[in-house]
């Protein structure tokens, strides 16, 4: 966003950070948002109009938020209402939780973090014990696990390393759902109302002329990335660029 996209200083502060103990800090997710996302630009470029692409993105984000909120409620031991359109993803999450015996606690869910040395703040999804390792777990509802996510989780790791000396690792937990073609193995994903079909190149079968889609089923993927220090240096680089981009408002805040 340019400096003209905010109607007031308060609006900038509200959308880009947190005020903690009367001190304002930029938000981790806003900082990492400075990095270019070629796939997103390609999606907007392919769309029939900017508005159409924006509407799909908004609907997709809304669906992702519901999956995220229900998953966190389950982690807290609650029994939340589950909408039918996201039930396959949530059922897969419940099954995965039981199989992996993921352990956490209420004080480790939606935990606010502040890094006083590097001056930023954020909210982690969860801290959890998985396979005997204690670490940060970030929940995503994307189609894939992208390398960009490592910037975000590395910022959390650096903020927590002194408070939790036993902090060992970090994970991305991806929760999604899709249909699989019964003939060729292609997958069909309709998040946000946008149909996206991916061919299954691994099985050597030719794509169908007309797919025979099976029922919607949940997908769970857990990726561990224990070595975070290099990613954190990249995060600090992104932070420097974000500060440069928002210099006008950051000076008004008194951050710079």
**Mean pLDDT along residues 55-82:** 93
Q: Cβ contacts of residue 103 below 8 Å, gap of 6+?
A: 128, 129, 130
Residue 87 pLDDT > 60, yes or no?
yes
Q: Provide the pLDDT for residue 204.
A: 66
**pTM (2 d.p.):** 0.91
Return the percentage of the chain with pLDDT > 90, whole number.
79
106: left (phi over 0), alpha (psi -120 to 50) or beta: alpha
Q: Are 104 and 229 in contact (CB under 8 A)?
A: no
List, for residues 9-56, the tens digit of each pLDDT value. Answer: 999 999 999 999 999 999 999 999 999 877 777 777 777 888 888 888
Residue 3 pLDDT > 70, yes or no?
no
Closest CA to 71 of 217, 179, 174: 174
Q: Provide the pLDDT for residue 198.
A: 87
SS3 132: coil
Identify the CATH class of 22-248.
alpha beta
**Mean pLDDT along residues 174-182:** 95
**Mean pLDDT along residues 111-131:** 97
Which residue has tokens 């400096």? 3
How far apart are the C-alpha atoms of 131 and 32, rounded to whole Å? 29
């Amino acid at each position: 966003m340019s400096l003209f996209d905010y109607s007031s200083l308060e609006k900038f502060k509200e959308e880009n950070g947190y005020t903690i103990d009367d001190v304002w800090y930029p938000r981790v997710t806003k900082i990492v948002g400075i990095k270019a996302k070629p796939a997103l630009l390609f999606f907007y470029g392919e769309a029939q109009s900017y508005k159409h692409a924006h509407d799909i993105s908004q609907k997709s984000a809304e669906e992702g938020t519901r999956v995220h909120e229900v998953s966190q409620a389950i982690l807290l031991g609650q029994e939340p209402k589950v909408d039918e359109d996201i039930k396959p993803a949530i059922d897969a999450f419940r099954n995965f939780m039981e199989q992996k015996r993921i352990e956490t606690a209420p004080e480790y869910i939606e935990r606010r973090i502040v890094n006083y040395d590097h001056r930023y703040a954020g909210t982690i999804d969860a801290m959890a014990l998985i396979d005997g390792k204690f670490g940060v777990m970030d929940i995503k509802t994307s189609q894939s696990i992208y390398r960009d996510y490592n910037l975000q989780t590395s910022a959390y790791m650096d903020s927590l390393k002194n408070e939790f000396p036993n902090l060992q690792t970090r994970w991305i937990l991806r929760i999604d759902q899709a249909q699989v073609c019964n003939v060729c193995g292609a997958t069909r994903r309709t998040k946000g109302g946008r149909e996206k079909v991916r061919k299954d190149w691994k099985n050597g079968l030719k794509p169908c002329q007309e797919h025979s889609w099976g029922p919607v089923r949940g997908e769970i993927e857990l990726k561990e990335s224990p070595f975070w220090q290099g990613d954190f240096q990249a995060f600090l680089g992104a932070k420097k660029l974000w500060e440069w981009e928002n210099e006008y408002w950051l000076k008004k805040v008194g951050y710079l």
